[in-house]
Amino acid sequence: MKNNRLMGWLTLGSILWGCGGPSEEPPMAPEPEARVSDAALAGPLPYRGINLAGAEFGSALPGTHGTTYVYPDPAYSNYTTADYYISKGMTTFRLPFKWERLQRTRKAAFDAAELTRLKTTVNRLLGKGAVVILDPHNYARYAGAVVGAGVPNADFADFWSRLANEFKSNPKVIFGLMNEPYSMPTEQWLGAANAAIQAIRNTGATNLILVPGNAWTGAHSWTGSWYGTSNATVMLQVKDPGNNYAFEVHQYLDSDSSGTQASCVSATIGAQRMQSFTNWLRANGKKGFLGEFAGGTDSVCLSAVDNILDHLEANSDVYLGWTYWAGGPWWGSYFFSLEPTSGVDKPQMGALSSHL
């Protein structure tokens, strides 16, 4: 769970930095062309990568591209992040963006300029052999109204029908239904998710769908009841006519699993917080995906990052992979950023490298 305190900090940072990234650092020099091999996508945990942030930045809607938000693509910035991460062995990029920018009015055609930005970025990544996860980073909301209440399920289904039609031709595009739904009955989110899944399948799309749960889709709280009926109970009622879906969870390593602190509870907290969800997957014959996790740069956090990935690898029969939070051109000094500084890897890359 990344709460609004963090997103507010990012909004301010992106406005101050402007369209070229942080003004105090020059753009990185172009890197050699990198490509994801078919072999890298074979075997256990094929999806190993990072969230490429930027298109979801800024609270202003729709905002101004290049000023309040940016797509992490050379066509719109001076960074070549994809080649860097692919050269490290990553295969997969989760691409956050905002629903309201792509679809300015619900149930209306997509904004042409925004769709071009999204497709340019996705197609560039696909051209490198990578897998792309589309991530409407909206917390099950549109302009503040909650999906399944102020936003009818039919509107959410319409959005996904249009998006699926744009990207269904390539199986390397994964459809992440929504980032971190929260503060609603879990049954309400289930209804919205099933409506969107049906709409996707009605287009003829066979792509993998990632389905989050309620309560910021925390792995540690999957079986909990403090937010209402547990995800463990309700999400067993997900209906996919294509039977090609997995459950996406997020798991941070700080004291409250919020992802707002650089410190980590212990070197083994990752596996401990994942265990109940792992057990649930196996008991119910389901698959899981770790869409967000991160730790700071101290030795405890680096061990905790290593530990959570050890857990996924030890349970690769029920997991498809992971994407670290986060990369992208506008992070500056953010404590979880994996963006290299002056060509120097961040410490967290060392913790990830043995799993790539």
Q: Name the residues annotated as catalytic.
A: 180, 292
326, two tokens: 């986060």
**207: which 2 tokens?**
């792509």
Q: From CA 269, how far away is CA 224, in angstroms rounded?
A: 17
**Cα 132 from Cα 100, distance rounded (Å):** 20
Tokens standing for residue 254:
């700080």
Q: Which residues contact 107 (CB under 8 A, 6 or more apart)?
A: 154, 155, 158
27 Cβ neighbours under 8 A, 6+ residues apart: 20, 21, 78, 79
Cα dihedral 74, 19, 250, 231 sign = negative
Q: In Å, how far are 182, 287, 310, 322 from 212, measured between CA atoms?
A: 10, 12, 22, 14
The encoded tokens of residue 96 equal 């956050």
Residues comprising the chain, all counted = 356
> Mutual orientation of helices 112-127 and 153-167 as an angle, nearest 10°?
50
